[in-house]
Amino acid sequence: MGHTDPGGTAVRWAVVVNGENRRLSLFTAAAEAAGCGTPRVVEWRDVLHDGGHAFADDEVVRLDSPGENAEVDRLLRGVEGPTRVEGSARWYAGFLACVASLRGGVRLDAPADLAVLFDKRLCHARLADAGVPVPPSPTSGGIAAVRGWSDVRHLIREAGMRRVFVKLAHGSSASGVLAIETASSGRIRATTSVERAEDGRLHNSLRIRRYTDESEIATIVDTLAPDGLHIERWLPKASLGNRSADLRIVVVGGRATHAVVRTSRSPLTNLHLGGARGDLAAARALAGDRWAQAIDISERAAACFPGTLCVGVDLLPAIGWRRFAVAEVNAFGDLLPRLTGLPGSGAEDLDTYAAQIAAFRSLAPGRFPVQPAPSLLVPPRTAHATA
């Protein structure tokens, strides 16, 4: 059973996803509860093996994360082992090609937007060009060459930055992220989840590590550099309950609908690395009337990706909750189980998936135009957007 869009035409839902992932069960539950029936499931592995997939004109096509599946990860990344850090540039090229092979349907995730969302250098430049506050970066737009540790050292010295985050340009879930501090004496410390094995390969670990030997840090960065690196100033963050804090704000159809506070004793607030959800009411109280600024910035960041229905905005609150800057914008940042919407958002009783279904129903049919031909979807190569 389908539902009817604002123009009166019956539509059906289809989801490209890893079928065993809880993302699918959560969206399916929301669709069925909204009377939309059970979405048709298209597996990422099948798209990869078949070289594409065609959707009917009346299908509303939602893409969800291809992560957390060993076979799909191996096909995209080209390396064995789900914990491996290397291969993100190949993953990026393979993912864009996979997205471009999808044909037909009404798309809720514009391929051209995804090409920018999954390149931190391009995303940073798009946000900055739109006047969205972001941390200063010498690699914005992918112009500066980062061939290894010596380039990182040169760029941060030239920019006068002593505390930076070095990130994989196409990474996610803090994979390959290093928080680097340089003392006036020249001593360096890197905080990261990266573990270097005896064979020199890099793995993501659930344990935060601190490296103080510059040669060891250099080796890690040199190993990551071929996949493309992005550097940002490490902005001092606000605290909540004696822990550093940031925000994930979900924006659906241009409106901020859901938010969580993430807190940690380390620079990395990701929940799988020991971060914890904080008290959102307490954070809003600390922000006071500046909370409206946080919402406005998040919605402005989402507006930079007009062909994508839903994004998750990672927002950095400054000390004292006085100002905010956008760290990242996530294409698949809506996995917040059981969380209902913000007061006044229109999604007060809805989870993130139900909010997306409701938003689509409220939008005019022309909100998501037909996408350009696949050959036009791959972004120009930058210095490190290698296949």
Contact 37, 2 (CB under 8 A): yes
Q: How confident is the model at residue 273 (pLDDT cuts 50, 70, 90)?
A: low
Residue with the bigger pLDDT between 40 and 272: it is: 40
Q: How confident is the model at residue 118 (pLDDT cuts 50, 70, 90)?
A: very high
Distances (CA, A) of 329 to 45, 233, 295, 299: 25, 17, 14, 11
Q: How confident is the model at residue 234 (pLDDT cuts 50, 70, 90)?
A: very high
pLDDT tens-digit series, residues 75-99: 999 998 888 999 999 999 999 999 9
- The values of phi and psi at residue 253, to 5°, are 60, 30
Q: What percent of the chain has a predicted confidence (pLDDT) above 70?
A: 90
The SS3 call for residue 374 is helix
pLDDT given for residue 174 in this prediction: 84
Q: How confident is the model at residue 240 (pLDDT cuts 50, 70, 90)?
A: very high
Strand stretches in 99-186, DSSP E: 102-107, 163-168, 178-182
Residue with the bigger pLDDT between 366 and 277: it is: 277
pLDDT tens-digit series, residues 285-338: 999 999 999 999 999 999 999 999 999 999 999 999 999 999 999 999 999 999
CA distance 191 to 193: 7
